[in-house]
Amino acid sequence: MMRRILTLALDTPLDNEFDYRWNAEDSTHPLPEVGQLALVPFGRREVMGLIVAVKDDSDVDANKLRDVIAIRSQLGPLSPAWIALCRFAADYYQRPLGEVALPCVPKNLRTDNTTSLERALKKLAAAATAEPPPVPRPELNTEQRAAVEAITADPGFCAHLLHGVTGSGKTEVYLHAPERVIERERTQGRVAQVLILVPEINLTPQLEANVRARFPHLMVATLHSQLAEGERLRHWIAAHQGKAAIVLGTRLAVLASMPDLKLIIIDEEHDPSYKQQEGLRYSARDLAIWRARQLGLPVVLGSATPSIESWQHAGSGRYRKLVLRQRAAARAQLPRVGLIDMEVNKALDGLSPPLVAAVRARLERGEQSLLFLNRRGYAPVMHCDACGWISNCRRCTAFMVLHKPERRLRCHHCSLELRIPVSCPTCGNVDLQPLGRGTQRVEEHVQVLFPGARVLRIDADSTRRKGSAQAAFDAVHRGEVDILLGTQMVAKGHDFQRLTLVGAINPDSALFSQDYRAGERLFAQLMQVAGRAGRAGIEEGTPPSEVLIQTRYRQHPLYRALLAHDYEGFAQATLAERRAAGLPPFVYQALLRAEARQLQAALDFLQQARTLMPHEGITINDPVPMTITRVAGIERAQLLLECASRAQLQAFLKPWMQALRALKSRLRWSLEVDPLDI
Ligand code: ADP
Ligand code: ZN
Ligand code: ZN
């Protein structure tokens, strides 16, 4: 009797792979292959696993081996290259392979039930393709053409950093390069797939519309977390079967199975949302670069404000720099940036007289204004003047935020909600004051200041319902809004044709943050939001678009660089600071976090972790409480590891994680490699 052993990766935190018996005689099934999915018993459940090896013998006792229940054979196997990508991610981020690979596979494929799979396959087989399009495309300018040339000249690995100011026409490069690559492969009788990554799909609907319009004859699949399960399955299979020529998705799409991948594009490569903040804390950008190198294909990292890491690589020659210096649309100019000195201008409810005057001028001309304030809610805290009470969250080291329209105090960390107290909980004073301001408060004030104006607020609160963000942006595009007010949600890839003024209300708060990346992030946000202004070609004679920044620190180098639209200067200065301070990208970091009811227990665990193994060449700092120490009643602490060599850090992490797991601590802990927030 021929028996074969299948080694499976399963979605469990146990860092093992598991052997099962495949009984060839009982089945008419051909021998299973590596990369296929197999249903197996695991404990008392049945789970879907990924076959990573097929062999004759197992180290496991024969009478302990269990039988495979079924093989998912309707689909071709996942490729060795794809498994290698998952294995790399698992190794690098110190997670078991199964926890990386299986969540990439749509839920419907991981169950016993095959009806949804059959339905999806039928739908895909019936999908028709249209004729190639007669879509008008703009003539590329010299810089755009050079970029497309550089990207498509050589099919081999190269990381291109596409540094283009806002409005420089990066999108056209993202559309032309795939077109070229797909056409080149087609003439050689091959299929090509292109992966385009975007930070948040619902904030960049224009790119998706552009891609679909430009490639109506090709299948475009989208992959992001908001797809319904059926859709996700269909799009995933379209990518996996090579049917989708273009896959457009958020960070999770970097792990899509794409057998004919020939080009990867990462839009807004600096965006923090490429980093997953829970579970497998991966950087989609970094994985995309690894994947491009593994497969030997070009990858494009586009941004107006590249991440400091990427800029460093471009400087050292590891990445190739491509530059778009000019705005692309006819007569479109970069906006003029000005600072409003808040030391001399008294702001009433957040808006200084010069900013109010600038908004009024736009209203009179029938143009749009955008007010940017990166803080939602009405006020970040409530306060009693009489006794000093403030609205602390009882479960977190954080304030309860006042949400006036909803008449609630809300904790943004644990989601606790309370009615707004009518009087002070400690002294009974009925005159409680809001302190500071968020978007709701500014909205209220703007409505009072400009009674006839149509004001629209866009933030996470106003766009909770599905589709409401899209509806809000559409209203702005149709010209139904005079004053748009919002958080960073309004900063992303929108082209508002009538928008000629951007006001940043209180950016200073980020200048003195403990987070060493706060400056880089603020600069990128301000550049991006400023980039919303003056994108359309204006008529001759009208004044140029304007960006006004309210600040108490007019001399701050960040603002000086912003005035001059000088990303390069800012990046150079930031790199010099990081080098001097021994911060990334000049060191590599990993962060071990622990959570417990008692802070001391978390700190003790980290202290134990610290002394678990010799760690020559690796700096392990003292365990410290996290900045927001308590969330929902759980105390949190962290341990920062630093090393000048990525390889040396990796070599330490693997055995260290094994030793940590062997402690079998009941405390919750997790490791993050290349952490963004410290
Ligand atoms: P970015 O993504 O770099 O901020 P976009 O790709 O949104 O900029 O382009 C800005 C504007 O310039 C868009 O309205 C686009 O249609 C236009 N545009 C891009 N390339 C060209 C070109 N070669 N000629 C004319 N207009 C262009
Ligand atoms: Zn009081
Ligand atoms: Zn809370």
| Residue 267 CA, closest ligand 1 atom number | 2
Name the DSSP letter for residue 275: B
Q: What is the pLDDT of residue 3?
A: 64
Of 367, 674, 404, the closest CA to residue 533 belongs to 367
What is the mean pLDDT of the segment spanning 480-505? 90
CA pair distance 664, 32, nearest whole angstrom:
35
What is the mean pLDDT of the segment spanning 638-643? 98
Q: Which comes out higher in pLDDT, residue 466 or 40?
A: 40
CB distance 328 to ligand 1 below 6 Å: yes
**For 53-163, where are the alpha helices, taking DSSP H only?**
80-92, 97-101, 115-126, 142-153
* Residue range 381-435, pLDDT digits in tens: 999 999 999 999 999 999 999 999 999 999 999 999 999 999 999 999 999 999 9
Taking the centre of ligand 3 as the mean of its atom positions, its distance from the CA of residue 635, in whole angstroms, is 12
Q: Omega of the bond prior to 585 within 30 degrees of 0, cis?
A: yes
Q: Closest ligand to 633 CA? A: 3
Q: What is the pLDDT of residue 357?
A: 97
Q: What is the pLDDT of residue 26?
A: 61
> Is residue 541 predicted with pLDDT exceeding 80?
no
* Residue range 321-344, pLDDT digits in tens: 999 998 888 777 889 999 999 999
Residue of the CA atom closest to atom 21 of ligand 1:
328
CA pair distance 213, 235, nearest whole angstrom:
18
* Residue range 346-377, pLDDT digits in tens: 888 899 999 999 999 999 999 999 999 999 99
CB distance 303 to ligand 1 below 6 Å: no
| Residue 166 CA, closest ligand 1 atom number | 4
Element housing 637 (H / E): strand 634-643
CA distances (Å), 481 to each of 230, 349, 369, 478, in order?
36, 21, 9, 8
Give residue for tokens 């909803």.
406
Q: What is the pLDDT of residue 362?
A: 95
- Mapping DSSP to helix (H, G, I), strand (E, B) and coil, where does residue 203 land? helix
Residue of the CA atom closest to atom 14 of ligand 1:
329
CB distance 506 to ligand 1 below 6 Å: no
| Residue 171 CA, closest ligand 1 atom number | 6
What is the number of residues in the chain?
A: 678
* Phi, then psi, of 322 in degrees rounded to 5: -120, 135
CB distance 508 to ligand 1 below 6 Å: no
CA pair distance 478, 489, nearest whole angstrom:
19
CB distance 307 to ligand 1 below 6 Å: no
Taking the centre of ligand 1 as the mean of its atom positions, its distance from the CA of residue 195, in whole angstroms, is 21
| Residue 168 CA, closest ligand 1 atom number | 3
> Is residue 537 predicted with pLDDT exceeding 60?
no
> Is residue 7 predicted with pLDDT exceeding 90?
yes
> Is residue 27 predicted with pLDDT exceeding 60?
no
Taking the centre of ligand 3 as the mean of its atom positions, its distance from the CA of residue 411, in whole angstroms, is 5
Q: What is the pLDDT of residue 505?
A: 96
> Is residue 24 predicted with pLDDT exceeding 90?
no
CB distance 210 to ligand 1 below 6 Å: no
Q: What is the pLDDT of residue 130?
A: 66
* Residue range 131-169, pLDDT digits in tens: 666 677 889 999 999 999 999 999 999 999 999 999 899
Q: Closest ligand to 303 CA? A: 1
Ion ligand 2 nearby residues (CB, 5 A): 384, 386-387, 389, 424, 426-427, 429
Of 369, 154, 173, 172, the closest CA to residue 262 belongs to 154
CB distance 145 to ligand 1 below 6 Å: no
Q: What is the pLDDT of residue 226?
A: 87
> Is residue 510 predicted with pLDDT exceeding 90?
no
Query: Distance of alpha carbon 555 from its chain centroid, rounded?
Result: 32
> Is residue 639 predicted with pLDDT exceeding 80?
yes
Pocket test for ligand 1, best of 535, 538, 565, 567 (most atoms within 8 A of CB): 535
